[in-house]
Amino acid sequence: MSFLYPSFLWALAGLSVPIIIHLFYFRRFKKVYFSNTRFLQEIKEETSSRNRLKNLLVLLMRCLAIAALVFAFAQPFLKEDDEVNLGEKAVSVFIDNSFSMQGEQQNIPLLDVAKQRARDIVKAYRPSDRFQILTQEFDGRFQRLLSQDEALAVIDQVEITPSVHRLSQVLTRQKQVVRGDNRIAYLISDFQTSITDLESWQDSTIEVNLIPVQGVRARNVGIDSVWFVSPVPVLNENNALVVKLHNYGEEDAEGVKLSIVMDGQERPIGIVDVVSGGSSIDTVNVAITKTGTQTAELKILDYPILFDDNYFISFYVDEKINVLVIDDSYTNKYLDALFSGIGYLNISHQNIAQIQYQQFAGQQLIILNDLRTISSGLANELKNYLDKGGKVLLFPGENADISAYNSFLGQAGAASYAAQSSNAREVSAINLSEFVFNDVFENNNRNLTLPSVNYSYQFSVVSSLNPSENIMTFRDGGAFIQKFRVGEGLLYTSAAPLKEDKSDLVRQAEIFVPMVYRMAISKSKAEPVAYTIGADRFVEIKKSGDLSDEVTYKLVGESEFIPGQRNLGPKVVLDVSDQIKKAGLYDVVLGNTKEKSLAFNYNRVESDLNYTDEGDLASVADRQGFNIINNEQQAGINVAITQKDQGIVLWKYFLWAAIIFLLLEALLIRFMKS
């Protein structure tokens, strides 16, 4: 037997008090008068014997009562093992409050069950211990240790949240907060398979206890993801929008109704069947008839899990596509005709001798047409423009300064020009899978009149570090037009000049017009149509106009707040962190002007209602050295924790013993005859 407060054992010296009282009080004599003294000797002996026994029993009860009280204050316990923790403890309790905790256990929400377990844990420790209450939100208010009363108050405030973290991340966060020799962590969760990654945890300095609270697995079909087939939604065209549904349940789902809400109107897409554990993909054509920010909501109806039945998207169609043509002395009339025929394409010209570099940032496409040379200054500006997401289409000049061209191409990591040739060359293939020509022609198998040239440059071998993608290819296998990724931008290079007497590309309108148009509206990477709450912390938007770095954006939707902001030239990175709690559409507002809309959806990790069963959880706990408090132990979790951390506590028994001894003393004095 060990004692939590052994210093109280000095109080056993108090046993001397009843002994002293016994020695001095019970030895006093009383005068008794007798009328007849014949039996005095017999009475004296009998009375003396009874008094001595009674006094000794009373003394014993008093000594035992005092000793029991002293032992109770010293808090004795029996060790169940050699790892009983003494001293002040730092206890971290994690309450899983993700969407899956909306399930039920015996008609009680799992979150309510988890909160009650947390209260029992906190109450099982001493008021002098310190506590951390952690939830899926990872808020800053959970990054400190609390008193027992403060911890109980925080538990009452816990609610369901869209945030979700893996349990290894939870343990890392708990380890960062709890300090000292006695560090104890509790994980109260349904232990979804999608977040249970405890096998990767390696730390023996903190005691980990697993408390599973699991309900009945429910059926669930959710909208997994949504995306456009084309990387850029195109104005005045039917854009294919792909919707992926996933069945997370154990039964096939039949007749799931899918619809889309756009421009305030809801229209059905179709009825989808999804097999158990599988996915189904449906496609809807979205007609885009206007520019600016466009939003839509995809919907299904599937009980009882509803949080993943809606999926919000937003995308932006530029108001104007600005194209800058830089030429020397030759202006191509076909380029002017092409852009004048499309209303929202805006073309401007600059002569090589009078370039205004400051206008590059506002251009979606820069066309270099028939330049004799490319100066080092122009090359540097073009490289910076490409790195920031711009696009350049290069048509070389006749008898051009190849070394100057190649200096720019070398900076960009693109294939350089080799020897020029006046041999006739014909295009034999168009890359119909590339965005420039993808879905342009209704019948891809029909015979197209392909371009031919009588003057061209050969391309050198492309570096494997920056491979090219051929847009059009000659019969001899050489590239006619190539595409390279440069920084965040795109560089298109042609093997032949655009002059009509050198190439008939400009006369092949069914190829030339969509090619240049698609190059103007293309992007090096598709912009996301939606973001995930809790997973996508940073959102990148294009800065509108020539704004200073001091402007402040705010997000307005289900809530309104000012996100963290970092300026990166023509772009701004918004740090939404954990400020978005509800799925929906949020407007990016600058001053009183709406710049664009962003769509945020709940994390689909919570859609999968597969739980780690008791056997697998026990195996993981055994390998990692964790403790599991099962359902039976949870019914008396405070006793289980007390015995685990303090052994078998005996002070209550000694307190009852003291009371019993005092009662026995009273009974002896009251009823035992002297």
Q: Where are the domains of the chain?
A: 2-81+665-671, 90-217+610-646, 229-315, 321-521, 531-601
Q: How far apart (Å, rounded) are the C-alpha atoms in residues 16 and 9?
A: 14
Residues 6+ apart with CB under 8 A from 46: none
* Domain 90-217+610-646 in this protein, CATH class: alpha beta
Digit-coded pLDDT (tens) for 10-51: 877 877 877 777 776 655 555 666 666 555 555 555 566 667
Query: Quick one: pLDDT at residue 347?
Result: 87
State the maximum Cα–Cα separation within the chain, in Å, rounded to a whole number: 160
Residues 6+ apart with CB under 8 A from 590: 544, 547, 551, 552, 553
The single-letter DSSP state of residue 611 is: B
* Domain 531-601 in this protein, CATH class: mainly beta
Query: Quick one: pLDDT at residue 325?
Result: 93
**Which stretches of the chain score pLDDT less than 50?**
82
Look up the pTM and report it: 0.72
CA distance readout (Å), 246 to 280, 362, 408, 512, 621: 6, 42, 48, 42, 31
Query: Quick one: pLDDT at residue 401?
Result: 92
Tell me whether residue 522 is exposed, middle or buried, using C-beta atoms within 10 angstroms of its C-beta: 0 to 12, 13 to 18, 19 or more. Answer: buried
Query: Quick one: pLDDT at residue 29?
Result: 54
Neighbours of 45 (CB within 10 A): 10
Query: Quick one: pLDDT at residue 83?
Result: 53
Neighbours of 536 (CB within 10 A): 16
Fold match flag (229-315 vs 531-601)? yes
Neighbours of 42 (CB within 10 A): 9
DSSP count for the chain of H helices, then E strands: 13, 36
Query: Quick one: pLDDT at residue 586?
Result: 95
Q: How far apart (Å, rounded) are the C-alpha atoms in residues 313 and 608?
A: 22
Strands 538-542 and 292-299: unpaired
Q: What are phi and psi of 452, to 5 degrees?
A: -140, 155
Query: Quick one: pLDDT at residue 8?
Result: 74
Q: What are phi and psi of 510, to 5 degrees?
A: -65, -15
Homologous superfamily of the 321-521 domain (CATH): Class I glutamine amidotransferase (GATase) domain (3.40.50.880)
Query: Quick one: pLDDT at residue 264?
Result: 86
Residue the block writes with tokens 């709890």: 178
Topology of domain 229-315 in CATH is Immunoglobulin-like (2.60.40)
Query: Quick one: pLDDT at residue 395?
Result: 94
Angle formed at CA 169 by CA 165 and CA 175, multiple of 5 degrees: 140
Query: Quick one: pLDDT at residue 114?
Result: 94
